[in-house]
Structure 1
Amino acid sequence: MKKKNNNQTFAISVFVGILLLLGALFYVSKVQDKKAEESYPTISGVNDVKVDGFNTKDQPTIGNKNAKIEVVEFGDYKCPICADWTRIVFPDIKSEYIDKGLISFSFINYPFIAKDSNLAALASEVVYSYDKDAFWKFQEEIYAKQEDETKTWATKEKLTELAKSVMPDLDEEKFKKDLYKKEAMSQVSSDVAIGNHYGVQGTPTVFVNGKATADPSLESIKAAIDAELNK
């Protein structure tokens, strides 16, 4: 009988221990989730945004803002194809159309690949708010230093380092704080809402005068631009 009681006591102890362990694991998981959310915030307020066109007056834009052709690219800084597009396709678009004043070209964030896509998008908005010209240099730098899309590499520290490389006088502590302020979040949520409204499914996606090109290839984009020029 004593042996049976000992077994029951042991069983109860094990059961209680398992419950305590599960509770501790749940708590740790919640703490980790909270820390991850603090470091890599989700983009909030997207459904509250009223979309009225691409709203390019608030977007990074180069070229002739009075041109009759408006080209818009949606991109994610974690997207390897976006990096290739910026390195291979964009220079031809710039030399053939932007530099000649034939089009305006705007970039809109559409982070969707991973949690640090959001932070990279927020960082680009902060850079843009500091120095509009530095935005394009920052974009080149972040794509040049892009790592494997399956890794969480767009950290607060790395993004600050990249911003510092294009803005040597950057106040690093202020930049880190501004990454999480509502101003940057509001702009990215607006960007995502615009992308959703126009049916963006991935990046890069390019629009010419409000119509998505067949694909982001140089040939498709040139065909769409030339068709508009010939109207």
Structure 2
Amino acid sequence: MKKKNNNQLFVISVCVGIIVLMGALFFVSKLQDKQAAQEFPKITGENKVKVNGFNIDEQPTLGNKKSGIEVVEFGDYKCPVCAQWNDKVFPKIQSDYINTNQISFSFVNYPFISKDSNLAALAGEVIYIYDPNAFWAFHHEIYRNQPEETKTWATKKYLTDLAKKVIPNLNEQKFQNDLYKKSTMKKVATDVAIGDHFNVQGTPTIFVNGKMVKDPSYDSIKAAIEEAKASIGK
């Protein structure tokens, strides 16, 4: 009888232990979720913004804004295809069209791949506010140093270290605080809303004078630019 009672006590102890362990794991999981939500805020395009074209005056832009040819890229800093595009295609566009003042080229955030895509987009917006020229250095730097897509790498620390490369005297604490300002989040939310309005489905997506290019290859973009030039008599 005593042995039976001992067995029952053992089973009860194991069950209680399992329940306590599951509760602890649940608590830790919730705490981790809360911490992740604090570091990687959710941003959607469902804010009430009036979409009036791409409004390139509000976007990081290179080249000649008076050229009559607007090329716009929607990108996600976590997107490996965007990094490849920035490395292989963008330099040709820059050499042939941007540096020769034939077009303007603007970048619009469209973060969608993972939770840290949003934080990377916010970092770009903050750098652009600090120094529009430094933005492009940061833009290329983040693509050149892009880790694997499956990893959550665009953390506050990683982005701060990257930002210091382009702004050596960066106030780190201010930079990190500015990432979470409502005004910064609104800028990214507005970008997403613009992308949704123009039916962006992925990145990189390229528009030439408001028309989506069928694919982001150099040849397709070149053809779209030349067609746009012909339409305005250039």
Instruction: State the TM-score bracket (shorter-chain normalisation).
Output: over 0.9
Residue 191 of structure 1 and its aligned partner are, at CA, apart by 0.9
Deviations 1:141-171 (A, max 9, x none): 1111111112222221121111111112211
Separation of aligned partners in 1, 2:94 and 2:109: 19
Task: Identify which range, 215-224 or 14-23, moves more after superposition.
Answer: 14-23
Alignment of 1:78-97 (within 5 A): 78-97=78-97
Residue 3 of structure 1 and its aligned partner are, at CA, apart by 4.3
1:75–1:205 Cα contact (<8 Å) kept:
yes
Alignment of 1:143-162 (within 5 A): 143-162=143-162
Q: Give 5+ residue unaligned stretches, structure 2.
A: none
Separation of aligned partners in 2, 1:169 and 1:15: 57
Deviations 1:36-90 (A, max 9, x none): 112222215x212324122222111111112211110011111121112112211
The match for 1:113 is 113
Residue 28 of structure 1 and its aligned partner are, at CA, apart by 0.4
1:51–1:197 Cα contact (<8 Å) kept:
no
RMSD over aligned Cα atoms: 1.6
The match for 2:207 is 207
Deviations 1:172-228 (A, max 9, x none): 111111112212211111111111221111111100111110100000001111101
SS of the equivalent of 2:54 reads coil
User: Are 1:76 and 2:81 counterparts?
Assistant: no
The match for 1:169 is 169
SS of the equivalent of 1:141 reads helix
Count of residues in Structure 1 that have an aligned counterpart in Structure 2: 230
SS of the equivalent of 1:215 reads coil
TM-score normalised to the size of structure 2? 0.92
Separation of aligned partners in 2, 1:84 and 1:8: 63
SS of the equivalent of 1:47 reads coil
Separation of aligned partners in 2, 1:7 and 1:157: 52
Residue 4 of structure 1 and its aligned partner are, at CA, apart by 4.1
Alignment of 1:1-231 (within 5 A): 1-44=1-44, 46-52=45-51, 53-231=53-231
Separation of aligned partners in 1, 2:13 and 2:144: 57
Separation of aligned partners in 1, 2:82 and 2:20: 47
1:205–1:215 Cα contact (<8 Å) kept:
yes
Separation of aligned partners in 1, 2:137 and 2:9: 68
Matching residue's letter, 2:187 = Q
Residue 13 of structure 1 and its aligned partner are, at CA, apart by 2.9
Q: Give 5+ residue unaligned stretches, structure 1.
A: none
Identity rate, percent: 63
TM-score normalised to the size of structure 1? 0.93
1:49–1:189 Cα contact (<8 Å) kept:
no
Separation of aligned partners in 2, 1:71 and 1:96: 13
